[in-house]
Amino acid sequence: MKSGLLSLLACPICKYYPLQLKIFKWETDSDKFNQLESIIAEKNTEQLNKDIQIKVSKIENEIRVKDNISRSEKPISDYLKGLNNIYDDILAIEDNSNTKSNEILDLIKKELFNKIIEYKNEKNIKDLTKIFEQIKFNIHLLNWYLFYAEIEEGIMICEKCNRWFPIIETIPQMLPDEIRKEKPEKEFLKKWKDNIKEEVLLEAIPFNLENYVICPQCGHSFETVEGGEIICPNCNYIFNR
C-alpha cells in the first residue's frame, strides 16, 4: 500500500476519517531511502522523477501541475490550496520501520510541507512561477513518499471505533468483523507487538492480545483467561499474571 492511499480511506465500519497509519516494514528497498539523503541535499528533482512523474505545464504564463495528489491538471494556485487538505493525512502517518524513511517523514512533516503551503493564498501568477521553482523539489519528494514508496506491513487504526486493520504483503485488509480471521490476525499483532502501542494491543477490536501472557522463564507466549497463578504449558513454570 502507498501511504498516499490514506487520503482515500475511511473506516469501513464507522466511516471515520482519517485513519492512523503505522508503518512497520517497507517493500521499497531500504537503499532507495538511503539514497534520498544525497538526493535531498542536491535537490535532485530529476532523480525522483525517474521513480514517479509529475506533469508541469505552462499555459498563458500560468504554471499547471498534475500529480498523484491532485489527480487532474490544476493551476498552481488551486494545486497549493488542494495540498493544504492533505496535511492531516500526513500527520496521521507514523513510521516505525527503523529505516531512513522515518527521518524523511519527519522532514516532510516539520519542514518541507510547511514550505509548500506557506504560499497557499498566493494569487499573483508571476510570483507563483518563481515560488514553484523554489518548492518544486518538495512537491516531488512528497509525491515520492506518498505514491512511490510501498508499505509491506503495517496497521491502520480508527480512533473513533477503536478498530485496527492490518496491511499484509502490501494489501490493506479492511474487512467487516464477522469475516476477519482471529488466529492469523492475532499472530500478526504478536509479530509486531513491539511496534504497537499497548492500548491498541490490549484494547483494540475486533481482536487484541488482552489474554496473552509471556512466560518469564522460557519466553513462550500463550493465551489464557486465568487470573492468579498460571502454569506455562511449555516449561511448567508457575507465575502470576
Residues near Zn ion (CB under 5 A): 11, 13-14, 16, 158, 160-161, 215, 217-218, 220, 232, 234-235, 237
Least Cα distance to 48 among 170, 152, 133, 147 occurs for: 147
Rounded least distance, CB 122 to Zn ion, Å: 37
Rounded least distance, CB 220 to Zn ion, Å: 5
Rounded least distance, CB 147 to Zn ion, Å: 25
Name the 3-class secondary structure at 14. coil
Rounded least distance, CB 15 to Zn ion, Å: 7
Nearer to Zn ion, 68 or 221 (CB): 221
Rounded least distance, CB 177 to Zn ion, Å: 11
Nearer to Zn ion, 4 or 18 (CB): 18
Q: Which three cell numbers stand for residue 60?
A: 498563458
Least Cα distance to 217 among 234, 237, 193 occurs for: 237
Nearer to Zn ion, 184 or 216 (CB): 216
Nearer to Zn ion, 17 or 148 (CB): 17
Q: CA-CA distance, 200 to 187, in Å (whole number)?
A: 15
Q: CA-CA distance, 84 to 15, in Å (whole number)?
A: 22
Q: What is the Cα Rg of the chain in Å?
A: 22
Nearer to Zn ion, 34 or 234 (CB): 234
Long-range pairs for 64-73: beta carbons < 8 A, 24 or more residues apart: 65/132, 65/139, 67/139, 67/143, 68/4, 68/143, 68/146, 68/147, 69/4, 69/142, 69/143, 69/146, 69/147
Rounded least distance, CB 160 to Zn ion, Å: 5
Nearer to Zn ion, 16 or 197 (CB): 16
**Which residue bears the cell 528497498?**
29
Q: Which three cell numbers stand for residue 59?
A: 499555459
Position 70: which residue type?
S
